[in-house]
Amino acid sequence: MTANAETDYDLEEEVDSHLRRIFYIKPKCDSPKCNPYIVEYFGVLSLKDLRAPERKLWVIYFCKQPELDKTVGEIHQKYGKKNMFDLYRTPVFSGAALRASVKKHFSELKWFTNGNLLEAPPKSHFNDERVVKTITDLHHLEQQRLYNYIMVKHMWFHRYK
């Protein structure tokens, strides 16, 4: 039943609004806050410092798909296009969460983490392949957490249906 005039009365909508008030449930959102069809990406760029070649640097970033080229272009402009290359890029559920997880992991390893820049300590055994493997493992862990959360909610829903 659609309410297209003032005289039309939508009983389902009215009951729904009253039940939401009675049981303190949030009202329905009119429109979704984000577009689910726009993919968010997380990436890592390897950075070579020409002034100090023994330094091992990586730049992490996350952005939505339409802003990907702009974000990578800004990073290239800031650090120099010749000195870096794209090491890792993957679509993620939440780029901010994965970025926080990556920064936390590497800061616990006593790395220098400043903004989006990761720097391995001197005489570190980390190289590009090892950084990619670590970030891939962290991404897999994030996906596993999301899957477990969804499955627990699913089981709870079916148990109390």
* pLDDT tens column, 13-26: 888 887 787 877 77
Helix (H) or strand (E) holding 119: strand 117-119
Query: Distance between CA 84 and CA 76 in Å, rounded?
Result: 8
Provide the pLDDT for residue 1.
Answer: 47
79 token code pair: 């650090």
pTM above 0.95, yes or no: no
Domain boundaries, the chain: 40-153
Find the angle CA(127)-CA(96)-CA(154) to the nearest 5 degrees.
110
Provide the pLDDT for residue 9.
Answer: 73
